Structure 1
Amino acid sequence: MSDHSVGAKASHNKGEPVRVIFVNRFFYPDESATSLMLTDLAFALEAKPYALHVVTSGSDYTGSEERPPSREKVNGTSIHRLPALQGGQTSLVRRVANFVIFYLFSFVALLRLARRGDLVVCLTDPPFGQLLCLLAVRLKGARLINWVQDIYPETAIRLGFGSPGNPLFGMLARLRDFCWKASAVNVAIGARMAEYVKHRTADAADIRIIPNWADEKALAPLAHEENPLRSKWGYLLEDCVIGYSGNLGRAHDSETMLGAIEQLVGDAASPARFLFVGGGAQRKGLEERLKAYDRVRFCNYQPREQLRESLSVPDIHWLSLAPQLEGLIVPSKFYGAAAAGRPIIFVGDEDGEVARLIAQGECGRSFAPGAVGALTQYLRELSADRNLRELLGQNARLFAEDICARDSRLAEWTALLCDLATTEMSGSLDEAKSTQKANDYLALEGAAVVGPSRINGLANGQQCKGLQS
């Protein structure tokens, strides 16, 4: 009998609930993308028969000087916040220092919290944190689920922070691949990402695809005349606001949109206005380059309770990803923009994950980096045609409700965790009792994920203990 099987029995024999321990650098009340995903999932599990814990950092993504309590319980989830340097996102040195601090303290926290049969869900912030998570779960007899939000060291290499032949990066990649193979399950957030994991592990890892999401109910479209934030930021009803919301970092192409901005701001007849909400490595440089244009505005991250208003300010949303990072990163900004019912423009690989979603939802258009002329022309047409914007926005909203619904994605996670919590089989889950394998998803070529029928039962309140093992 395997350690996994013994662990599951040991936990159940004590009559104690299985612990689900999440590990990520950011969590509630932080507003970063992975924090929002994790917060939604953890709080959605409150009614399930688990003991929920989150191991996270004491700092937040925006660099706020406010320090939340090191221990607290929110919505049934015990939060364990670790020491961190405040303002750790402001420089590369401080960021790396916070990585190291988090590696060490999270490992110790897992050794203290994890027991045989427990589930540890490790996200990929900071990079390579899953390696220490794997060591901890092996020592404690728990099971590891990798929630793959991005893939390193390949992302760093393709952004120019090292070479493919670097021996350190090569070693880290091999250790990461071993971690994928040794984990109970690896959850990828896109089809192309799952393809890459499958390639790296020679099909030896258990891979599932559960895309990210947005709360489409909370982010329902808000008419401009009912949106106090739009008027507060100085926009008129006749303005066409083209907005970017979230992190604009090294992984994102901004030059193509900058080229379009420089052409459109000089056109007095154009209703186009440009809005950047958020932060990231490129923000300071963009503010400097665009400070002469009164049609361009920069705003900080908005609190989650104002996210509906913030995402409804733009008439058009745009997002981007450097093509060389396809399969390594999936921008989750798409889901919020779709939920807000706005047309979406993507700058990146025209066969990339987001480009496929836009094509499937018929809610916008994708452009290759450098296609400034084509992008500018499309923005001219779209900003002048309210009816077309409304049609594309309606398509986006329907896509968010029917295909990308938050409750469906959370139900897929609930089903997966219930399978893992109730199984006493070693290694990967029994093929006949698991949710659909990644190979089946890959055959859909990026189509929306629709879980098996029993997921609907879980979404309607079926308890995990009701599942048959």
Structure 2
Amino acid sequence: MRILLLNQCFYPDHVATAQHLTDLALGLSKAGHQVTVVACSRGYDSPQIRYPAHEFWQGMDIHRIWTPGLGKSAKWRRLVDFGSFWLSATWILLWLPRFDVTVCLTSPPLISTLGTVMAAFKGGSVVPWVMDLNPDEAVAAGWLRAGGLAERLLGFLQRWSFRRAARIVALDRFMARRLMEKGVPPEVIHTDPPWSHDEAVRYDEQGREEFRSLHGLKDKFVIMYSGNHSPCHPLDTLLEAALAVRDRSHLHFLFVGGGSEFEKVKQFRERQLLGNITTLPYQPMSSLAASLSAADLHVVVLGEPFVGIVHPCKIYNILTLGIPFMAIGPEESHLGDIAAKLPAGDSYVARPGSVEEVVHHLVKAAESPGRRSLDAQRLAREFATEALRSRLIRVIEEAAQK
């Protein structure tokens, strides 16, 4: 079967959608399918990094698109990058052959619409793998006005493509509910979360000690936020908690990753003269186990307006490690569902804006440094790569028959 994967990010980029799409591509190739990928030639968070425009890798044909790489510092820069990706992808897809199935992710926004147009023109089925919902996210973040002309137009294009999908993959029950509200038939929706990177992520005791020593964290209780720093995951409450406990020298906050809000964390640290905050860029996959294992408490944040729009993917790697985590977000969310399955001490839940609640949980968690949870590790098996990836591959294969 000929399968096209369409997304802004792919190997060797290290952002979450690139990692999950690369995992899927390898699984499809191993299953005997002919895989073609159309992605961007620039790093998602580091546009100065350039990847080859065309290469064969692991039996897959990869076409990478040039974009200006203007970055995320202003909305117009994002729009130009997104627009250039759309135009270049359209040109490439016109020249590529027909595919049995096109799997579209959601970066840049509404890229599934392009996949749907090309499939209508050439034939074949389309399977959107919805990593986030736009323009819903843009409205929730305040970037677009609800009910405005732009939101109505983009919403129309989104619904048009989704309603023509052979199957559509939602990441949790809240996202599935939003899709049904948009008119997608329930029988078309397949609900499964993205998997943990259990081949690369494991608890690494030696790596933990080396990483903590390297970054001056040897005798600290490390509270880690690792991943994309974006308005969907508002960090204000956590940062205010860091300010509130600045005199508790054993508590140290480590922010690892990138995204549009990463600079705000640095600026907050410098403005408040906080020595209890360290910031580090995304870690390569080869160092991910050591980096994540270095935490004593992980923090996962989900803004209330974004429930069912974005998904807290990082939680699955945390469960695999068995390290306790604190969820800052609404209880009525997928993140709240996960936390509710674990006993006290393995997970903590705090309301956004409640600095006192966060501080209380931090102090409580710090009473058990280095704690590991067997319950969390058992729960993590539900999100193992092979189980979830195999189910997704079957969904894609079935879509070709429609």
Aligned to 1:297: 278
Q: Deviations over 1:287-334 (max 9, x none)?
A: 122131222100011111111111111111002111011011112111
CA distance in 2, matches of 1:102, 1:235: 41
CA RMSD of aligned residues (A): 1.7
In the superposition, relative to structure 1, how do residues 225 and 71 fare at CA in structure 2: closer, same or farther (>3 Å)? closer
Q: Is the 8 A contact 1:219 1:339 kept in 2?
A: yes
CA distance in 2, matches of 1:304, 1:225: 13
Supply the AA of the counterpart residue of 1:144. Answer: V
Aligned to 1:6: none
Q: Deviations over 1:219-249 (max 9, x none)?
A: 111226764222111111x421000101111
TM-score by length of structure 2 reads 0.94
CA distance in 1, matches of 2:81, 2:106: 14
Q: Which residues in structure 2 correspond to 1:132-151 (within 5 Å)?
A: 132-151=114-133
Quote the sequence identity (%).
27
Q: Which residues in structure 2 correspond to 1:330-349 (within 5 Å)?
A: 330-349=311-330
Where in structure 1 do 4 or more consecutive aligned residues deviate above 6 Å? none
Aligned to 1:285: 264
Aligned to 1:460: none
Supply the AA of the counterpart residue of 2:190. Answer: R
Q: Deviations over 1:11-55 (max 9, x none)?
A: xxxxxxx21100000100001110011011101222222110110
Q: Deviations over 1:354-391 (max 9, x none)?
A: 111121244312211111111101110111223xx625
Q: Deviations over 1:271-302 (max 9, x none)?
A: 21110001122221221221312221000111
Q: Is the 8 A contact 2:176 2:189 kept in 1?
A: yes
Q: Which residues in structure 2 correspond to 1:205-224 (within 5 Å)?
A: 206-223=188-205
Aligned to 1:179: 161
Q: Deviations over 1:114-162 (max 9, x none)?
A: 41x6110010001111112111110001211111111111111111112
Q: Is the 8 A contact 2:127 2:399 kept in 1?
A: no
CA distance in 2, matches of 1:66, 1:248: 20
> Tell me, what secondary structure is at the counterpart of 2:396?
helix
Q: Which residues in structure 2 correspond to 1:339-378 (within 5 Å)?
A: 339-362=320-343, 363-378=346-361
The yes-or-no answer on 1:156 pairing with 2:135 is no
Q: Deviations over 1:411-462 (max 9, x none)?
A: 11121122234x2xx4xxxxxxxxxxxxxxxxxxxxxxxxxxxxxxxxxxxx
Q: Which runs of 5+ in 2 are unaligned?
A: none
CA distance in 1, matches of 2:282, 2:72: 14
In the superposition, relative to structure 1, how do residues 205 and 101 fare at CA in structure 2: closer, same or farther (>3 Å)? farther
TM-score by length of structure 1 reads 0.81
Aligned to 2:177: 195
Larger Cα-atom Rg: 1
CA distance in 2, matches of 1:225, 1:49: 36
Q: Is the 8 A contact 2:127 2:169 kept in 1?
A: yes
Q: Is the 8 A contact 1:224 1:313 kept in 2?
A: no
The yes-or-no answer on 1:267 pairing with 2:248 is yes
Supply the AA of the counterpart residue of 1:174. Answer: F
Q: 1:89 aligns with which of 55, 59, 72?
A: 72
CA distance in 1, matches of 2:186, 2:36: 29
CA distance in 2, matches of 1:226, 1:279: 21
Aligned to 1:429: none
Q: Which residues in structure 2 correspond to 1:14-29 (within 5 Å)?
A: 18-29=1-12
Deviates more, 1:361-370 or 1:26-35: 361-370
Aligned to 1:53: 36
Shift of the alpha carbon at 1:87?
4.9
Q: 1:100 aligns with which of 69, 83, 86?
A: 83
Shift of the alpha carbon at 1:211?
0.7
Deviates more, 1:238-247 or 1:358-367: 358-367
Q: Deviations over 1:164-187 (max 9, x none)?
A: 120221122122112111111111
Aligned residues: 398
Shift of the alpha carbon at 1:205?
6.8
Aligned to 1:65: 48
